[in-house]
Amino acid sequence: MSIYKKLFEAKKEIGKISKDSTNPFFKSKYFDINQLLEHVEPILQKHELLLLQPIEEDKVCSTILDIESEKLISSAIALPQITDPQKLGSAITYYRRYTLQSLLGLQAEDDDANKASGNSTKQDAPVKWLNDKQAQQAIDNNKVQECLNYYDGKTIRDDGNKYCISKKLKTMLETSLKV
């Protein structure tokens, strides 16, 4: 199977990504790189695709390699000339997120646009991914089964959001039931 066919199949599984983090300074929403990777990488790996995000020649690159054929596709953006290491680190994180979004042609769920147009419905509900801390809280509060129902990504809660869990968290929650 070609790298493009594999990406086509993976993209069908990835779906729309919710901007799940808030920038308190600008009061705007964005993709958290860790949540994005937690969602995307298992799907890419399932299709034998490897995601690499090296910095090459002052550019942040997102490269997807087909481990069978060794063919690859890439997206890159030049880093700004920044000498402050903390600001440079922020720029690298930002560019990793957006080169990956661009490379995969990911659709962002734009909550503000939906609210402004009056199109915010339960069918259009953004997907929110539970993190490790939330899964641990579910275990601590005996709400494991409720969280496992989120694995299919179709459960919509009263707050109008769909919640999902990664395969890793599903395994963690299932293990807690057996203890």
- Note whether 94 and 142 are same-domain residues: no
CA distances from 173 to 44, 74, 138, 140 (A): 23, 35, 8, 11
- Note whether 72 and 26 are same-domain residues: yes
- Note whether 97 and 117 are same-domain residues: no
DSSP 126: P
Residues ≥6 apart with Cβ < 8 Å to 87? none
Quick check: helix, strand or coil at residue 133? helix
The domain containing residue 29 runs over which residues? 3-107
Q: What does the angle CA 133 – CA 128 – CA 146 come to, to the nearest 5 degrees? A: 65
pLDDT for res 26: 42
- Note whether 82 and 135 are same-domain residues: no
Per-residue pLDDT of the chain (179 residues), as tens digits, is 899 999 999 988 887 776 554 544 444 555 678 888 888 999 999 999 999 999 999 999 999 999 999 999 999 999 999 889 999 998 999 899 889 988 998 876 544 434 434 444 434 455 566 677 777 777 787 777 777 766 555 555 555 566 677 777 777 777 887 76
pTM of the model: 0.57
